[in-house]
Amino acid sequence: MSNSNNIIDGKQLSITIKEEIAGEVKAIKADGGKIPHLAAVLVGDDPASRVYVRNKVSSCEEVGFESTLIRKDDSITEDELLEIIHELNEDDDIDGFIVQLPLPKHINEEKVTLAIDPKKDVDGFHPMNFGRMAQGMPSYLPATPFGIVQMLDRYNIEVEGKYCVVLGRSNIVGTPISILLSRKASPGNATVVLCHSRTKDIKKHCLEADIIVAAIGKANFLTADMVKEGAVVIDVGINRVEDESRKKGYRLAGDVDYDNVAPKCKLITPVPGGVGPMTVTSLLMNTLKSCKGEVYDN
């Protein structure tokens, strides 16, 4: 087993960041300034989405933000949802909002994402924010990559000049984190290799890596024989694996074979308690930035 000195404690770090945000909100209140206000739209009753959204709303309360939850039945039409988005875009009291994904099949997620005003897109999913991020302009960073960047920064992990391997090229994790790590910024300036399902010899790349970000969505994909001694491993996976010993019949496992990989690592994120808790703090940070007009100067 690993010694616990090499754990990147996302749960604790997210608590620290939330305390910092709460402190800022207190100061804003004392000054009579505008309180940050996040809205979340939840369509249908997907159990995982309900948990995520509940967590986002309760985190707003924790830090003193205002929050609005808009719940709609699965039967909502695309036009009705677009109308809600339009109203949120126009509502001056709302600093930012999210539409929780996935949406029911009859609703086009791309259309919904494009309908959100980029200035209120605190999820950072709109191509305008993605493009701004890629060009190093101020933007709302998507939650998971922003959380990873925060972790690297707060744990003083050297990124510049390092060989980083990203596993997975999704729009919301793999591709944006590969851009952020290679940007001329801090953290950044890394040499990044983005590996995916068509990559030849993933193991060869991983064995060279100083930093590995695993976001491939396969339980225990990254095994100890793929990791060099002293690497930093960031595990983005949240996979359900059968476990009869648990009441629910499953447990959550990352993309990393943690028990065997951790002893080789300089630092590693656990699952749960690693990247996951950081995603909500990213959303709060983006909402605060929006309220303060730090990303778009309106």
Considering only 66, 95, 121, 123, the residue that binds ligand GUN (CB under 6 A) is 123
Helical H runs in 108-209?
Answer: 109-115, 127-134, 143-154, 174-182, 202-208
The Cα 15–Cα 278 span in angstroms is: 9
Binding mask 42-81 for ligand GUN (x = CB under 6 A): ----------------------------------------
- The residue count for binding ligand GUN (CB under 6 A) is 6
Stretch that binds ligand GUN, among 81-89, 99-107, 223-231, 248-256 (CB under 6 A): 99-107
Stretch that binds ligand GUN, among 28-36, 84-92, 96-104, 244-252 (CB under 6 A): 96-104
What is the H or E stretch that residue 234 is in? Answer: strand 231-235
56 classed as catalytic: yes
Q: Least distance to ligand GUN from the beta carbon of 99, Å?
A: 6
Stretch that binds ligand GUN, among 98-106, 178-186, 201-209, 247-255 (CB under 6 A): 98-106
118 upstream amide cis, omega within 30 of 0: no
12 classed as catalytic: no
Of 41 and 226, the one with the shorter C-beta distance to ligand GUN is: 41
Nearest residue to ligand GUN, scored by beta-carbon proximity: 101
DSSP, collapsed to helix, strand or coil, labels residue 129 as helix
Q: Least distance to ligand GUN from the beta carbon of 85, Å?
A: 12
* C-alpha distances in Å from residue 4, one per residue of 98, 142, 154, 265: 36, 29, 18, 11
Amino acid at 94: I
- Count Cα neighbours of 247 within 13 Å in the Cβ-side half-sphere: 0
Of 57 and 231, the one with the shorter C-beta distance to ligand GUN is: 57
The Cα 112–Cα 66 span in angstroms is: 24
Considering only 13, 98, 173, 295, the residue that binds ligand GUN (CB under 6 A) is 98
248 classed as catalytic: no
Largest Cα span, the chain: 58
Q: Which residues bind ligand GUN (CB under 6 A)?
A: 98-101, 123, 143
